[in-house]
Structure 1
Amino acid sequence: MKTWFKSGAPWIWLNGGAVAICMIMVVGLIGLIAVRGFGHFWPADVAEIEINDHTGKQTVVLGEVVRSQTIPSAVARDAGNYVPDDIELVTRYLIKQGNRDQTGRDFVWYLELGMEDFRYPDTAYVVERREWGNFYGYPLALQREGEVIATAADANFWPMIQESVDRSLKLHRDIQRIEKGEIGRISTRLNELRLDLRRLDLRDPPADVRAAEEARVAEARAQLEIDYQVLRKDLDVLYQSTKRDTLQMRMSDNKEVAISLADIVRVTAPNTMSVPTKMGQYVERLWEFLSEQPREANTEGGIFPAIFGTVTMVFVMSIMVTPFGILAAIYLREYAKQGLMTRIIRISVYNLAGVPSIVYGVFGLGFFVYFLGGNLDRLFYEAALPTPTFGTPGLFWASLTLALLTLPIVIVSTEEGLARIPSTIRQGSLALGATKAETLWKVIVPLATPAMMTGLILAIARAAGEVAPLMLVGVVKLAPTLPVDATFPFIHLERKIMHLGFHIYDVGFQSPNVEAARPLVYATALILVILIVVLNLTAISIRNRLRERYRSASD
């Protein structure tokens, strides 16, 4: 036994077991997030539940069974429910009954006491709306301009609903294209003309120059106003067209509700859907989650702006941190005199890596946003004041703050890579007549490139998941426009962005509808993990190619 311990085998097995346990925990955590998050997009069956209370009153509930739990009877009594004294434990079900505009809440707990067996009627419909969440009920009729064109008993009722919904979705896309695209460009152009007049007042040019400039602005404004009126008429026609169709529905309490198809995203009958149909519906909903804008206080819709904002911020941060970090490391290792001051600088760099991220956020807000941004506005954007351009949190300042946060990681990794290169390579290059600069940039730096990429990988991994500093320097709950679009200069570094990490915080802790937000928190967290893995794998593949390329030289 002593020989076995002295051989070191127990410690090898212990380390291997620890690594295996860590891997199991990581895989299990990701699996839990995936099941709870992505399971939200599966079309769940709709149950009809009859509940008879102790007074004989009967209530019919229609909705999705989210989960169940067993609780002490005292807890149920404290919640205002009647439970007989001889019962110690009781089971309750969380039902997503929707119809928040009619009942005030769409998630309700119901005790199992008095419940009849669950029924899953084929006539139960789920109507996904742009506002007020889902509607659960039974279809009655489809109306067009106030007249019934089909009833639930008609054979062509379902195809007509789908055709009307598709038409409504197409109209909605056309409205969004005009409002956010064409009218948005007109608004941008009008603001530029306003700034032109403001700059004219600040310069105070001669009268003839002022008159010519004012005439040009007036002519441009007149043309833009004409274009706007044309688009406004088109919008009025589209909005009027969306009000054509109405779906009449009946709730579980027999109350009839009229739902305009302009507010509908999708109509489904999940109890009649086959497994392949549900799989197709699942893929469609998942794609909408990844590609659409959020709605309903971020508890519905998609997360595409957050994905786009995260990726854009990481790329801008990488562009800024890589050259500064590499050049600083090269100077400290190759050029700086190795004395007391250099050691102090190195210790400072190591300590910067341990500074809490929120401190970087406060520094970025005070120095980058208020000081640098405010001065930039006074120097180059005076016409826009007092409305700030760069003197307010935005993409550029968020990326610059994260670049400062991850700078020590890149410096340390690059320095370690430079230190691992054998001195014989340097001496051989110098012996062959190369200068110190040629040796550095043509021999040493290429060999240290894999270490530089390692630093960048670590920087990306940390920056993509940061939240605290971004709350102060550029990330918001909902950004109306993306930082990259077709409007000159195409990349708008001054705009605010959405971020997956902040989106998780907002949905998980600031949402007014906790139960609706819960699965989206899991799904968004998994997307963030996947995004970080993809970014890291991309950088790792580049590093491995560089390592293979210079392997022979390092040998």
Structure 2
Amino acid sequence: MGKWFKSGSPWIWMTSGAVSVCLISVLGLLLLIAWRGLSYFWPADIYQWEMKNQQGERYTLIGEIYDKEEVPTERLLDAGHKFDTEVGENITRYLVKTGNREFVGLDFRWILATDILSRSQPNNIAVIERSKNGDFYGFPVAIIEDGERLISQNIEADFESYIGRAVALNDEALDIQKGVIGSINYELENLRLASRRYELDNALTDSRKAEIEAEIARLNAEYQVVEKEFFELKTEAGRDAVVIRDMRGEEVVLKLDTLLDVTYTNRLGVMGKIGHWFIGVGKFVSDDPREANTEGGVFPAIFGTVFMVMLMAVIVMPFGVIAAIYLHEYAKKGPVTKMIRIAVINLAGVPSIVYGVFGLGFFVYMFGGTLDQLFYPEALPTPTFGSPGVLWSALTLAILTLPVVIVSTEEGLSRIPSSVRQGSLALGATKAETLWRIIIPMASPAMMTGLILAVARAAGEVAPLMLVGVVKLAPTLPIDMNFPFVHLERKFMHLGFHIYDVGFQSPNVEAARPLVYATSFLLVSVIVALNLTAIGVRNHLREKYRSLEH
């Protein structure tokens, strides 16, 4: 036993065991997040319960089982619940999502198994996805077309057809609103700012004023035409309605322009549910959020996260690499250089919120405010760059991740043998040529390692972004078809902040919980995708410049 300990084998086993525990923990956490998040899109069975309340009154409940748990009977008795028959020590209760929140209040409720008289799964229960107020459960009864109730031979097929028509019209109207109307408003605002700029410069001549007014008149005329087309589409989309019998037994009229889709989940087989699951995941990653971010998709957050991280990488890599090259190749060894290295290492330990405060004070208010006064005086007092935006967020996170890039690059430079430098110089190359053609290519894998670590750190940061650019809901993306196409002054959405907002600011906790898991898994997937891309580039560079090491 003593020889075994002296051989070092126990420490090898302990190290491997610790690594295994860490890997299992990480994989277990990822699997938990993936299961909780991705199962949200699986179409659940819809049940119809016949219930009785404490007063003995009967009522009908329609919904899907969200969760269930065992509750001690004693606790229910202490809460004042009475039972007509003998019950055991524990009673099963179900958390049911009932939807129809504008008619029944909260769309989640707990029911006890002892209050259930019967349970069934009617095939004709429709799950109706709506643009507001959540899902609606009920039985389609009739179609109302232009105010007239139609007698339908196949109400379900007609319902799907009418919804498809309304969705197509709404999509066309939305394209006009975001496209043509948005561009016209953007041009009108630019003309207003141009007129204001000429006034400030005392250069608003009569001819310029006439040109601006003529252009404004042309745009207003175009706006009137497009606006009329937009409202015609919206009116046409809202022309029809559907009559649904809900769980109260009452007929409810739903306007078709508020409906997005209808599904009869109790009829779906395994393949049908798989197809519906893929459609749900696709909508989640491609649609805009709605209902205070508790429904819809997260595409603006995905776009904002990736765009901000890429912009941060473009900023931090040149500065980090140049700083590392100077410290390792040019700076003299001494107390000043040593203090700089210590400062760089200490910067890596500064809390991220401190970087956010610095970014808000220096980049937004000081630097951005100065830019507004110098280049955008016509827009004042409304700030352009003097308010939080994606550029300041990228710069703030670039400073936050700068120490990681510097340290990684220096490590790569220090691993290059001095004989390589000496051989290059002996062959007549200058120090700059040696650096550019030999040293930097050989150190490029280490630089990419720094980029990988920087991306992983920046993509998950939320605290500093709350101060310098991220918002709950961004009306426009940082990139669009309006010149100059890339708008770095705009605020943006971020997956990390979206998780915080949905998880802690949502008025409907039960409905938001699966979205927290789904968005968390999506954020991890985005980070993994970005890192895998960087790792692929690093491996390519390592193979490309491997010959320089020999």
- TM-score, length-scaled by structure 1: 0.97
Is 1:138 matched with 2:139? yes
Checking the alignment, whether the CA contact within 8 Å between 2:50 and 2:60 is kept in structure 1 is yes
Checking the alignment, whether the CA contact within 8 Å between 1:69 and 1:92 is kept in structure 2 is yes
Partner of 2:193: 195
Partner of 2:423: 428
State the alpha-carbon separation in 2 of the partners of residues 82 and 299 from structure 1.
36
Q: CA deviation at 1:189?
A: 0.5
* SS of residue paired to 1:505: helix
Is 1:89 matched with 2:84? no
Letter in 2 for 1:61: L
**Within-5 A mapping of 1:10-49:** 10-49=10-49
State the alpha-carbon separation in 2 of the partners of residues 122 and 281 from structure 1.
17
State the alpha-carbon separation in 1 of the partners of residues 365 and 253 from structure 2.
51
* SS of residue paired to 1:127: strand
Q: CA deviation at 1:117?
A: 3.9
Q: CA deviation at 1:176?
A: 0.6
Checking the alignment, whether the CA contact within 8 Å between 1:44 and 1:64 is kept in structure 2 is yes
Q: CA deviation at 1:552?
A: 2.0
**Within-5 A mapping of 1:216-295:** 216-295=211-290
Q: CA deviation at 1:149?
A: 2.3
Q: CA deviation at 1:175?
A: 0.9
Letter in 2 for 1:164: Y
* SS of residue paired to 1:392: coil
Checking the alignment, whether the CA contact within 8 Å between 1:307 and 1:499 is kept in structure 2 is yes
Partner of 1:356: 351
State the alpha-carbon separation in 1 of the partners of residues 99 and 224 from structure 2.
40
**Within-5 A mapping of 1:94-133:** 94-133=95-134
State the alpha-carbon separation in 1 of the partners of residues 111 and 350 from structure 2.
49
Is 1:391 matched with 2:386? yes
Letter in 1 for 2:199: D
Partner of 2:165: 167
Letter in 2 for 1:453: M
Partner of 1:512: 507
State the alpha-carbon separation in 1 of the partners of residues 199 and 181 from structure 2.
27
State the alpha-carbon separation in 2 of the partners of residues 175 and 202 from structure 1.
39
Count, aligned residues: 549
State the alpha-carbon separation in 2 of the partners of residues 231 and 256 from structure 1.
37
Q: CA deviation at 1:288?
A: 0.5
* SS of residue paired to 1:116: strand
Q: CA deviation at 1:29?
A: 1.2
State the alpha-carbon separation in 2 of the partners of residues 115 and 23 from structure 1.
45
Percent of aligned positions that are identical: 55
Checking the alignment, whether the CA contact within 8 Å between 1:76 and 1:83 is kept in structure 2 is no
Letter in 2 for 1:508: G
Paired residue for 1:523, among 505, 515, 518?
A: 518
- TM-score, length-scaled by structure 2: 0.97
* SS of residue paired to 2:354: helix
Letter in 2 for 1:509: F
Checking the alignment, whether the CA contact within 8 Å between 2:284 and 2:296 is kept in structure 1 is yes
* SS of residue paired to 1:118: strand
Q: Deviations over 1:362-420 (max 9, x none)?
A: 00000000000000000000000000000000000000000000000000001111111
State the alpha-carbon separation in 1 of the partners of residues 209 and 541 from structure 2.
58
* SS of residue paired to 2:244: strand
State the alpha-carbon separation in 1 of the partners of residues 131 and 35 from structure 2.
25
State the alpha-carbon separation in 2 of the partners of residues 237 and 436 from structure 1.
70
Structure 1, 509-518 or 137-146: larger mean CA deviation: 137-146
Letter in 1 for 2:438: V
Letter in 2 for 1:130: S
Checking the alignment, whether the CA contact within 8 Å between 2:141 and 2:155 is kept in structure 1 is no
Q: Deviations over 1:95-137 (max 9, x none)?
A: 0000001111101111122213421011211111001000111
Structure 1, 236-245 or 365-374: larger mean CA deviation: 236-245
Checking the alignment, whether the CA contact within 8 Å between 1:73 and 1:83 is kept in structure 2 is no
Q: CA deviation at 1:198?
A: 0.5
Checking the alignment, whether the CA contact within 8 Å between 1:314 and 1:399 is kept in structure 2 is yes
Q: Deviations over 1:287-312 (max 9, x none)?
A: 00000000001010000000000000
Checking the alignment, whether the CA contact within 8 Å between 2:140 and 2:155 is kept in structure 1 is no
* SS of residue paired to 2:350: coil
Q: CA deviation at 1:11?
A: 1.8
Mark the CA change 1:276 to 1:9 in structure 2 (over 3 Å): closer, same or farther.
same
**Within-5 A mapping of 1:320-331:** 320-331=315-326
Is 1:488 matched with 2:483? yes
Q: CA deviation at 1:80?
A: 6.0
State the alpha-carbon separation in 2 of the partners of residues 507 and 81 from structure 1.
34
Partner of 1:447: 442
Checking the alignment, whether the CA contact within 8 Å between 1:46 and 1:124 is kept in structure 2 is yes
Q: CA deviation at 1:74?
A: 5.0
Q: CA deviation at 1:83?
A: 5.2
* SS of residue paired to 1:338: coil
Q: Deviations over 1:131-188 (max 9, x none)?
A: 100011111111111222244xx2x322211111111111111111111111010100
Letter in 2 for 1:64: E
Partner of 1:335: 330
State the alpha-carbon separation in 1 of the partners of residues 384 and 263 from structure 2.
46
Checking the alignment, whether the CA contact within 8 Å between 1:193 and 1:217 is kept in structure 2 is yes
Checking the alignment, whether the CA contact within 8 Å between 1:143 and 1:150 is kept in structure 2 is no
Unaligned runs of 5+ in 2: none
